[in-house]
Structure 1
Amino acid sequence: MHGPVVVSWLLVALAAASAGYGLSRLRGARAGRESGATEALMGIGMAGTVLRPGVVWGWLFALLALALLLAALAPGAPRAHRLHHGVGALAMAYMGLAPAGHHGTAGLPTVTGALLLYFGGYALWTGSRLLSAPGGPLAAAGAVSVSRAYRTAMGVGMFAMLLTM
């Protein structure tokens, strides 16, 4: 990342906490385990990418994206969730593999802009669902509220990473 150091460390903390949340979901039902494993991988990868950027992360995320996008084609699969994680993994691969451009920027402005729109919109959408939860945003943190907060945080994290690219 090319942004301020404090932003980098805040993203590392956010990604590590998200990875911890994903790991905690591994004990649940089958769908929860799959989602938890994917979320843990994304969180660990995001933290690693911020701390030590490099092409290796890009290729690892490219493989993860391929696996997720192929899994979304399976009959009866939770397609939207897998597609979203696939787009996230593709964005991480893009950030890791994008060649440096003018003035220290990397990647293609059109692709970066499209990803910024996607993750900015996703963060706003999940955030609005979090705020409009039954009982209000200060209600007891149930599993649904924690999942929504996690998704909002990861969307904001991806947006911040793309913005500082």
Structure 2
Amino acid sequence: MHGPALSGWLLMVLCGVAGGYCLSRARRETGEERRAARAEAVMGFGMAAMAVPAVLFTPPAWAGAGYAALFGTAALRALWFLRSGGRHPQQHLHHLHHLVGSLAMVYMAVVMAPGADGGGHAGHGAAASAGGVPLLTGVLLVYYAFYVLVSAGRLIPVTAASGAAGVAGSGGARPELTPACRLTMGIAMFAMLLTL
């Protein structure tokens, strides 16, 4: 990622915490929810790794290809589950979102790779020239801006309506944390795309 080191640190921490929460959620859930939590954990940890400031760690030259392979595999997985369909339209939309997110991560990994027009991963602290395809970056920014606004809108009624009774009735689990985690990763993805 290009841009100030502080934003890299904040993104790294936020995405790492979101990935950790999703991983703990995967242990508790079953079936479709477990698959979704695993995919979100991979996305969170991958985003955290890509956001590490160059001041802390300069990734090896092959890191871009590694990220592209990881998220390419995640995209194929999301495509497989999207193709096989889900019982609910919400599951279908969630697989579609994972597909878009994974492909966006592949795109950023390719753009940030050494030798790419964007100046590579090593250009974190310096003012780098704009990388990637502006139209594609713009479309992804619009998608994530819309996703963040919709997710935030859904989060407000959940916290207001669930109250203490919803938390106590679910064995101590906090149902509003899952949408908050997804919102956090959507904001982080938007911020990462801005730095291209």
In the superposition, the TM-score normalised over structure 1's length comes to 0.90
Tell me what 1:111 maps to: 136
Gaps of 5+ in 2: 53-58, 120-127, 168-172
Tell me what 2:95 maps to: 82
Q: Which has the larger radius of gyration?
A: 2
For these two proteins, the number of residue pairs brought into alignment is 164
Structure with more relative contact order (C-alpha pairs < 8 Å, separation 6 or more): 2
Tell me what 1:47 maps to: 48
Cα distance in structure 2, aligned partners of 1:81 and 1:101: 30
Letter in 2 for 1:94: Y
Cα separation, partners in 2 of 1:3 and 1:136, compared to 1, 3 Å: farther
Letter in 1 for 2:71: F
Matched, 1:92 2:109: no
1:147 deviates by 1.2
1:2 deviates by 0.9
Matched, 1:4 2:4: yes
1:70 deviates by 2.0
Q: 1:65 aligns with which of 59, 66, 75?
A: 75
Cα distance in structure 2, aligned partners of 1:72 and 1:10: 32
Q: Secondary structure at the match of 1:43?
A: helix
Cα separation, partners in 2 of 1:75 and 1:92, compared to 1, 3 Å: closer
Letter in 1 for 2:117: A
Q: Secondary structure at the match of 1:144?
A: coil
Gaps of 5+ in 1: none
Structure 1's consecutive aligned runs of 4 or more residues displaced over 6 angstroms after TM superposition are: none
In the superposition, the TM-score normalised over structure 2's length comes to 0.76
Cα distance in structure 1, aligned partners of 2:85 and 2:142: 29
Report the aligned-residue RMSD. 2.0
Identity %: 39
Question: Which string of whole-angstrom CA distances, capped at 9 and with x for unpartnered residues, describes residues 16-73 of structure 1?
Answer: 0111111111221212211111011001110111224623212221121122112211
Cα distance in structure 2, aligned partners of 1:23 and 1:161: 22
Tell me which moved more, 50-59 or 62-71.
50-59
